[in-house]
Amino acid sequence: MPDIGFVWSELGGDPALLARVSTVVRPGALPARLPVRELARACVGACALAAAELGAHRAGRVEVPRVTVDDGAVATAFTGERHLLVDGRAPQTFAPLSRFWRTADGWVRTHANYPHHRARLLHALDVPEDPAAVGSALRDRPALEVEEAVYGAGGLAVALRTPAEWAAHDQAAALATRPLVERVRLDTSRARALPPLDGTPLLPAAGLRVLDLTRVLAGPVATRTLALLGADVLRLDAPHLPELPDQHADTGFGKRSATLDLAAGHDRFEELLAAADVVVTGYRPGALDRFGLSPEALAERRPGLVVAQVSAWGAYGPWGGRRGFDSLVQVATGIAAVEGSAERPGALPAQALDHGTGYLLAAAVLRALTEQAYGDAAGGGRLVRLALARTAAWLQDGSPLPEDGAAADGAGADGAGADGAEVGTVPYDGPARWLAETDSPVGRLRYARPAVSFADGPHDWARPPGPWGVDAARW
């Protein structure tokens, strides 16, 4: 069963600090056969504890602020894209061609939200942009054949596998050899001096500059969290790959957004890198290396940098270079089979792999900053790396919950009380109390409030999102 104690150990945290975490348990939040609520709670709790720890160091406090993890806030944040309203309009979260399809021997799931992925899917199947034509083309072909053909064309389609079938896959074997959170020291540069903090709210990442080279959800969730905690986050995108507007509105809180061609704008990027403290990347492994953006190359040019990477399948194994998204990882790793039925595959109640991995990535960055400035082995650049498929393996490490998806709540079952924290149990009555509204340059927004919470910490982002790509590429 996922719990914060395991996550905190993976992050290299002091186990004594787990006693600072309290959990409000709300049965009924994020119902599923797999322990989704426990995973979500652990990821958010570890991130909040990492933030409180860094904040205490920078403020000169003897005691780390208390952390409260509320299942209601966590569930609302993990489904935040579904609660978003832009001027009263609900966004479309999945395009018509992003769905499950029957094949000759099973099921595949496709992802075609972005125009270039949609075009490659249609090219691979040699059909027009029509769901009926796509369905007809897929019904007569084996699922694995479709998977390979679409990936070969640069698109995204994954065959449904059971947990046992995924366990026998070479990519699953590669993942099994890796920790949930990979942590590597990149150089031996001197420890950075983080300026002290005073006053409230306590902003652990205040004064830190974060270059955000991520897309979609897991990476943007991580950088949105760092922005909440006070970091100056500058998101950079290629001018020819615009983000989906509603997706940007959901994950753009607290950030600035600029476009930059990494080839033509090399000098400008180097200026940004020279003053950056953290670089977060979310593209498939190796995709940015040709621009000199491998972790080792970045650390060589900017000693002491924290580099954070997130990918779908991991940076290793036969699928290490493949594109992927949360929905596709659920299908490949057996989650969709567990959550479905004999008639049709299912899905988790949230894009929990994306959200959970995003909070873990932010936590890993915060812990790396703490170790750099205050640890026994202070100084040195750091690399932290996570993968959605590795998070999926962690989710499936425990046994599925009963058919009704109801967890056995209580201190031992939820893992919160097992770490010495106080646990309260109250009914879950929906997301309303964890939603807020604000005006923004992209319209009136209803959005999920932050789930990361600790004593004297921030309660909301300092700025709403603006339109994609309108800011200057400068600090």
* pLDDT digits 0-9 by tens, 94-151: 889 999 999 999 999 999 888 999 999 999 999 999 999 999 999 999 999 999 999 9
**For residues 64-71, average pLDDT:** 97
C-alpha pair distances (Å), 384 with each of 96, 213, 260, 289, 451 = 35, 15, 24, 16, 22
- In the three-class reduction of DSSP (H, G, I as helix; E, B as strand; rest coil), residue 196 is classed as coil
Copy the structure tokens of residue 111.
Answer: 């992802």
User: Residues for the chain: how many in total?
Assistant: 475
Provide the 8-state DSSP code for 130. Answer: -
Residues 150, 153, 155, 159, Cα dihedral to 10°? 20
Q: Give the position of tokens 């006053």.
A: 199
Which residues in 252-390 belong to E strands, given as ranges? 255-259, 278-281, 306-311, 382-387
Predicted local confidence at residue 92, as pLDDT:
82
Q: How far is it between the farthest Cα atoms of the chain?
A: 66
Predicted local confidence at residue 419, as pLDDT:
45
How many Cα neighbours within 13 Å face the side chain of 420? 8
Cβ–Cβ < 8 Å for 112, 134: no
> Peptide bond before 128: cis, by omega within 30 degrees of 0?
no
Whole-model pTM? 0.95
Q: How far is residue 56's CA from residue 47's CA, in Å, rounded to a whole number?
A: 14
pLDDT exceeds cutoff 70 at 6: yes
Residues 83, 87, 88, 91, Cα dihedral to 10°? -50
Convert the pLDDT of each residue in 232-272 to its tens digit: 999 999 999 888 899 999 999 999 999 999 999 999 999 99
C-alpha pair distances (Å), 433 with each of 1, 24, 34, 463, 465 = 28, 14, 26, 21, 21
Which residues pair with residue 454 across a beta bridge? 67
Predicted local confidence at residue 93, as pLDDT:
82
Question: CA nearest 284: which of 328, 235, 321?
Answer: 321
Residue 321 backbone class (left: φ over 0; alpha: ψ -120 to 50; beta: rest):
alpha
Q: How confident is the model at residue 192 (pLDDT cuts 50, 70, 90)?
A: confident
Residue 379 backbone class (left: φ over 0; alpha: ψ -120 to 50; beta: rest):
left
Q: How confident is the model at residue 410 (pLDDT cuts 50, 70, 90)?
A: very low
Q: How far is residue 407's CA from residue 404's CA, in Å, rounded to a whole number?
A: 9
Per-chain mean pLDDT for the chain:
93
Percentage of residues in the chain with pLDDT exceeding 90?
Answer: 87
To which H or E segment does residue 126 belong? none
pLDDT exceeds cutoff 80 at 408: no
pLDDT exceeds cutoff 60 at 417: no
C-alpha pair distances (Å), 408 with each of 21, 137, 346, 414, 451 = 20, 45, 22, 8, 23
pLDDT exceeds cutoff 80 at 344: yes
How many Cα neighbours within 13 Å face the side chain of 234? 22
Q: What are phi and psi of 449, to 5 degrees?
A: -70, 160
Convert the pLDDT of each residue in 84-93 to its tens digit: 999 999 998 8
Q: How confident is the model at residue 409 (pLDDT cuts 50, 70, 90)?
A: very low
